[in-house]
Chains A and B, each alone.
Chain A
């Protein structure tokens, strides 16, 4: 069996220092670490690996990202590969997953792809789903436990509000692991030293049979960035035309009114307009949208 684990290089939140005077992150002091959820995926992969199996680790990132692959080598990954398009400053989940999918195709498709559910950095949790799309494989996310029996993967999933579910999926598949509960093993000294010396192979776009056009997504433009600020809340003011008794009753109720739900009916266009009007009225949409 061949297991591929996708690793990400993320800023260590413990080292992020926001300059209290400028509000900017002091990038000179930020250290990067292996994404915790990816460390879980790596450990799960190592536990699944039986004799004769292969475990590969991939990352998408600049040369500094090699450290996560060295970490993987140190704990026992058989193969590692770094994917990057030089001249790129960052990636979006869509680009990352195209690169990984292309690499998996050119280097030999694995039986299982393990990913951390979400990264500490963006936390969008899109990678497993996008990879499943590009590979045309089934995807299971939020996995907390898994075991392999022949070509079937038995898994436990974490659901909302503490619920769990169990299920099975046939390989090949993309699995997204939930962070927590599992710790990455501690590397042995020889493993660590050899990993530090190892040459880390890298692939760029031509190696992967991609052209820059494949990665050209309409870029989003940032018009302005501002610190998050809660929307102003309307404070309940009792109706002055009421009698004092009624006003006190209103105040005592803390202004709680039954939430009114509204069901919109009509043609799709009318319904869309009504939804937009609703969102706009509550300040969720910018007036210019």
Chain B
């Protein structure tokens, strides 16, 4: 009826008729820190990169504390990244706190050393929905093709080699030379490709986190911070009740990230609900004054791979690499709770291996094994091997619950003046140990384990 359709709405409609036979050099699944880093590096090398994300935008589904210890890693990719990225505060204070129900004993670290307060800084607190979106946009700007709201269901295998992915859409097959799986702790792809077994419930922890809005000035005053300084608190002890795990509190620009981490198997054993533990934690006398007046802005939960060295899947298959949380690259040793930096480093290493494979047009296991070789100089493997004994031991009941309680109680007795004769520290310690029915045999063996885990 309208006479003149032909000249109207000049569009790319003609493009739509071209066959969708697309081939990518690299397909990255998951636009978190590992995926975006891999896509960024590969795209910069001139490869044709597809980055697939299941959320409506990168970061929509991502949860983390989030304290990002690895500014220097990112600085190599994007110089002065903190000036462009949505960061919250740089961390120059850390507090390790041992807790009993009533008492907290902490080691407070604060530094104005250049490594902490000057570029490239040591660590930043970030909010992942903002940060991941920014980071994926960098990969997109470098030329990677970002596809959101798209779930990857399976890998396409041909003659034993991964040659692409199947997404949950019509005609959802995309082919690529190398598939890099960065799809998180419960990596569907790693399982589909037969590289990872089902995880045990003692290998993963559940993190539950709240973001509490608080005025910037109040945060500065309450945490003794000036300017954009930030603090990271990490807690162990009675705060998680019978559950093996810990808690954290990080300062953002105008909010706090507060959360607890509980080993899944012990949550099941103790029949405790993670959000109850979080509420319990927030009402602890040492924590309540810090979170007072905070208004709930966000609530999220996520699994954390915690077994480190011992739960790593096979990282390489013909045509496929695994990076980030999917590979179990999360270091939870008590001293460190890090993951974003390892995710990025493994993503970069995977991209380098893919670039190498694309250069020699060989995507077999042996060429791609360059990835695992690169993980050594990128200090991923070294760190995990060095602390390979830590996770099993950190997650022990005595260390998580008994000793913090013991130390807190001992300190209570040490400082209490009640007219009774003062005792020196050693007899006092034995007294407390007797009270808690701790066997010296156990203490000695735990001391040995601590030493093995952290000293040498």
Write the residues of chain A forming the contact surface with B, with a CB cutoff of 8 angstroms.
1-2, 17, 19-21, 28-29, 31, 54, 56, 73, 78-81, 107-111, 171-172, 186-201
- Complex alpha-carbon distance, A19 and B5, angstroms: 48
Q: Are A200 and B147 neighbours in the complex by a CB distance under 8 Å?
A: no
- Using Cβ atoms and an 8 Å threshold, which residues of chain A touch B171? 188-190
The answer to whether B2 and A198 touch across the interface, beta carbons within 8 angstroms, is no
Compute the total of residue contacts between A and B using a CB distance below 8 Å.
Answer: 107
* A187 touching B169 in the complex, CB below 8 Å, given contacts A81-B11, A201-B10: yes
Contact flags B139-181 to A (C-beta < 8 A → 1, else 0): 0000001010010000000000000000101111110000000
B169 close to A189 (CB less than 8 A): yes
Besides A21-B295, A108-B8, 10 other A-B contacts (C-beta < 8 A): A17-B297, A78-B13, A188-B171, A189-B167, A189-B171, A190-B22, A192-B150, A192-B169, A200-B12, A201-B9
If the complex has contacts A54-B5, A109-B2, A193-B145, are A201 and B11 also in contact, measured as CB distance less than 8 A? yes
Interchain CB contact under 8 A, B12 and A21: no
Q: B377: which A residues are within 8 A, CB to CB?
A: none
Min CB gap B221→A, angstroms: 15
Contact with A along B4-18 (1 / 0, CB 8 A): 110111111101101
Q: How far is the CB of B112 from chain A (nearest CB, A)?
A: 29
Task: Select which of B2, B56, B129 is within 8 A of A29 by beta carbon.
Answer: B129
Let me know if A21 and B145 touch, CB within 8 A: no
In the complex with contacts A108-B2, A109-B2, A171-B1, A193-B20 CB distance below 8 A: yes
15 A-B pairs in the complex with CB atoms less than 8 angstroms apart: A21-B214, A28-B86, A31-B57, A54-B5, A81-B9, A81-B11, A108-B4, A108-B7, A188-B170, A190-B19, A191-B16, A192-B169, A193-B22, A196-B147, A198-B16
Instruction: List, in ascending order, chain A residues with CB within 8 A of B16's CB.
Output: 73, 191, 194-195, 198
| SS of B interface (majority) | loop
**Roughly how many angstroms separate A171 CA and B1 CA in the complex, as a whole number?**
10
Task: Report whether B11 and A172 are in contact in the complex, using a CB–CB cutoff of 8 Å.
Answer: no
Q: Give A258 to B255 CA distance when docked, in angstroms.
A: 53
Tell me whether B412 is interfacial, beta carbon within 8 Å.
no
Complex-state Cα separation, A197 to B11, whole angstroms: 12
Docked complex Cα distance between A195 and B297 (Å): 35
A243 to chain B, nearest CB (A): 52
B215: chain A residues at CB < 8 Å are 21
On whether the beta carbons of B18 and A107 are closer than 8 Å, the reply is: no
Chain B residues, CB < 8 A from A79: 8-11, 13
Q: Mark B77-93, 1 if CB is under 8 A from A, else 0.
A: 00000000010000000
Report Cα–Cα, A186/B149, bound state, in Å: 10
For B22-64 the 0/1 string (1 means CB < 8 A from A) is 1000000000000000000000000000000000110000000
The answer on a CB contact under 8 Å between A193 and B2 is no
Q: Are A198 and B172 in contact (CB under 8 A)?
A: no
Q: Does residue B259 face the partner (Cβ distance < 8 Å to A)? A: no
Which residues in B have their C-beta under 8 angstroms from that of A172? Answer: 1
Most A CB contacts (10 A, CB to CB) among B1, B9, B20, B171 go to: B9
B150 x A198 contact (CB < 8 A)? no
* A1 / chain B contacts, CB cutoff of 8 Å: 1
Indicate if the CB atoms of B254 and A21 lie closer than 8 Å. yes
B328: Cβ under 8 A from any A Cβ: no
**In the complex, which residues of chain B have a beta carbon less than 8 angstroms from the beta carbon of A54?**
5
B130 at the interface (CB under 8 A from A): yes
The residues of B that contact A17 with a CB separation of less than 8 Å are 297
The answer to whether A188 and B213 have CB atoms under 8 Å apart is no
CB distance from B255 to the nearest CB of A (A): 9
Does any Cβ of A come within 8 Å of B3's Cβ?
A: yes
Q: Is the CB of A20 within 8 A of B130?
A: no
Specify the chain A residue showing the minimal Cβ separation from B16. A194
The reply to whether B10 and A189 contact each other, CB–CB distance below 8 Å, is: no
What residue of chain B has the Cβ atom nearest to residue A14's Cβ? B56
The verdict on A188 contacting B169 (CB below 8 Å), with A21-B295, A108-B5 known, is yes
B1 touches A197 (CB 8 A): no
> A196 vs B53: C-alpha distance in the bound complex, in angstroms?
15
| Chain A residues whose C-beta falls within 8 Å of the C-beta of B169 in the assembled complex | 186-189, 192
Known: A31-B56, A81-B9, A111-B1. A20 touches B297 (CB 8 A): yes
With a cutoff of 8 Å between Cβ atoms, the chain A residues found around residue B129 in the complex are: 29
Q: Within 8 Å CB of B1, what residues of A?
A: 1-2, 109, 111, 171-172
Chain B residues near A81 (CB-CB < 8 A): 9, 11
Asked whether B297 lies within 8 Å of A107 as measured between CB atoms, the reply is no
Tell me the smallest distance from the CB of A111 to a CB of chain B, in Å. Answer: 5
Task: Assess A2 versus B150: contact at CB under 8 Å? Given A81-B11, A188-B170, A191-B16.
Answer: no
Q: Enumerate chain B residues within 8 angstroms of A108, measured Cβ to Cβ.
A: 2-5, 7-9
Q: Whole-angstrom distance between the alpha carbons of A198 and B10 in the complex?
A: 12
- Nearest A-chain residue to B10, judged by Cβ: A201
Contacts of B170 in A (CB 8 A): 186-189, 191
Collect the chain A residues with CB atoms within 8 Å of residue B9's CB. 56, 78-81, 107-108, 201
Q: Which chain A residues border B213 with CB–CB below 8 Å?
A: 19-21
What residue in chain A is nearest B6 (Cβ atoms)? A108
What chain A residues lie within 8 Å of B214 (beta carbons)?
21
Closest partner residue, chain B, to A107 (CB atom): B8
CB distance from A183 to the nearest CB of B (A): 14
B339 nearest CB across to chain A (Å): 23
Which chain A residue has the least Cβ–Cβ distance from B211?
A: A17
- Chain A nearest CB: distance from B50 CB in Å? 9
CA distance A196 to B144 in the complex (A): 12
7 A-B pairs closest in CB distance: A190-B20, A79-B9, A198-B12, A188-B170, A107-B8, A20-B295, A108-B8
Closest B residue to A111 using CB positions: B1
Contacts of B130 in A (CB 8 A): 28-29
The smallest C-beta distance from B300 to any residue of chain A, in angstroms, reads 14
Which of A20, A79, A197 gathers most chain B CB within 10 Å?
A20
CA distance A36 to B182 in the complex (A): 32
Within 8 A of A (CB), among B171-211: 171-174
**Least Cβ–Cβ distance between A137 and chain B, in angstroms:** 12
Q: Is the CB of B18 within 8 A of A193?
A: no
A189/B172 in contact, CB under 8 A: yes
Across the two chains, which residue of chain A brings its CB closest to B169?
A189
Task: Kindly list chain B residues whose C-beta atoms are within 8 Å of the C-beta of A78.
Answer: 9, 11, 13
Q: Is the CB of B150 within 8 A of A73?
A: no
Q: How far is B8's CA from A2's CA once the two chains are assembled, in angstroms?
A: 11
Contact across chains for A189 and B12 when beta carbons are under 8 A apart: no
Q: How far is the CB of A196 from chain B (nearest CB, A)?
A: 7
Least Cβ distance of A136 to chain B in Å?
15
Provide the residues of chain B in CB contact with A196, threshold 8 Å: 145, 147
Distance between A44 CB and nearest chain B CB, rounded to angstroms: 19
